[in-house]
Structure 1
Amino acid sequence: MTGKTHLALGATASLTLTTNLPIKSKALILAFSLISSLIPDLDHPKAKLNQKILLFQNGFSKFILYFTLGCISIYFHFISDNEIFLPLGIVLILLGYSSHRTFTHSFLGLFLASIVVKIISEKYLLNEIYYGFLIGYITHLIADFFNPRGLQIFYPLKKRFSAPITIKTGGKLENKIFIISTIYSLFLLFVNFEIFKI
């Protein structure tokens, strides 16, 4: 699915799951679910986030950036006592090596990335960061499960899995899903009017 649809689905999921939470928690979860709904596509050099990060939108540029950042992170692990650097470094190196819908679209990618976010959320006592991350990331994986090419959900195993019913990226059905998700998300914002009092 396209980035805008992943954003809409991330918003829909987070707003649906946080209806009864306080305003601050709801807003934080929504913000981080929107960000994390795009994170799995960092494995594609032309993804929305990579368009802002990469100097050149190609596989080599993606590899150099994330591999270098991963090595730097692992180096900091050995010269500091901060527990976040090792898992972050591993995630970044694997991200650099991975092709589209492989590592970042797998249970392994979700697990390792969630460790990094869990450490950050516990350090700053903001569980909402972790919950928002999980909502956005898992929503992304579920949406891409309906892609005809499927996902290497059990990466590093190369077998791809997809739903029996598939949705073409950028096709009419996806556009309908985007419109419905956007309208529903806006409806939830108005139903939970207090979110505008932040």
Structure 2
Amino acid sequence: MMATGHQVVGITFGVGALTLIPQLNPYSSEPLSAVFFLGFVLFGSLLPDIDMPNSRLGHKFWRGLLTLFILTFLIYLFAPRYLDLYREELKVFLMLLLPILFMIRGHRKMTHSLLFVGMLVGYSLFIEKWLNVPWFYLSGLIIGVISHLSADYVTKKGIPLIYPFSKKHKRFFITFKTGSVIEKAVVYSLVLWNVWYINLIF
């Protein structure tokens, strides 16, 4: 599915989660919290395509990572004492980054598997404790990723659900081609559904 379609599906999942998951209900009544939650959902809905350098999120990720490495190298050359000040933070950052770089080895592989979702849950638990980010928002990120995998699951290419144990792509029994008229019709229908549903509940 295309990036815009993934975002629409993500919003659908996010709004559904806010209204149907009891643990999230207390936050859904706070407009600002709900907006931040949906922001995390939107980010998560694009996250699995980070393995594509030309995707909407992948392009920014690789450009940002390259910029970060250049800045770190320049600091190492001209102001190495600053690296010593943040040595522990850099260790944690690298510890978090290396597994992500290992996972990004071709489109619709690790980042489109159930293992990726499991690892993301583990990362989220760590971030919750280390940075004190509320689980409510991190759950939005996970819901966004699940929405992405669900959307790609109904495309003709499918996704490798149990990668790396099996590279075979699984798909729903009803599928459509990415970028097709059917996909656009589904996306427009979801936009209308979201508008109607949000008006109904709020």
CA shift at 1:87, angstroms?
A: 4.1
Aligned-residue sequence identity (percent) comes to 28
Structure 1 residues 118 and 84, CA gap change in structure 2 (3 angstroms): farther
Contact 1:167/1:173 (8 A) holds in 2: yes
Q: Could you tell me how far apart the structure 2 residues matched to 1:84 and 1:191 are?
A: 43
- Partner secondary structure for residue 106 of structure 2: coil
Q: Could you tell me how far apart the structure 2 residues matched to 1:104 and 1:84 are?
A: 19
What amino acid does structure 2 have at the position aligned with 1:121? E
The alignment status of 1:3 with 2:12, answered yes or no, reads no
Q: Could you tell me how far apart the structure 2 residues matched to 1:86 and 1:186 are?
A: 41
* Greater per-residue helix proportion: 2
| Structure 2 match to 1:59 | none
| Structure 1 match to 2:99 | 90
In structure 2, which of residues 89, 108, 113 is the aligned counterpart of residue 101 of structure 1? 108
| Structure 2 match to 1:159 | 168
| Large movers: runs of 4+ above 4 Å | 81-85
- Partner secondary structure for residue 37 of structure 1: helix
> For 1:56-75, what aligned pairs fall within 5 Å after superposition?
none
In structure 2, which of residues 52, 61, 70 is the aligned counterpart of residue 44 of structure 1? 52
In structure 2, which of residues 173, 184, 192 is the aligned counterpart of residue 183 of structure 1? 192
What amino acid does structure 2 have at the position aligned with 1:154? I
| Structure 2 match to 1:116 | 123
Aligned residue pairs total: 178
Per-residue deviation, residues 76-131 of structure 1 (Å, max 9, x unmatched)? xxx52776652442122222xx2111100011111222322232234324112221
CA shift at 1:38, angstroms?
A: 0.2
Structure 1 gaps of 5+ residues are 56-63, 69-78, 194-198
The alignment status of 1:171 with 2:180, answered yes or no, reads yes
Q: Could you tell me how far apart the structure 1 residues matched to 2:185 and 2:156 are?
A: 17
Deviating more after overlay: 179-188 vs 166-175? 179-188
Contact 2:52/2:59 (8 A) holds in 1: no
Deviating more after overlay: 126-135 vs 180-189? 180-189
| Structure 2 match to 1:150 | 158
Larger radius of gyration: 2
| Structure 2 match to 1:61 | none
Structure 2 gaps of 5+ residues are 20-24, 70-86
Q: Could you tell me how far apart the structure 1 residues matched to 2:54 and 2:46 are?
A: 12
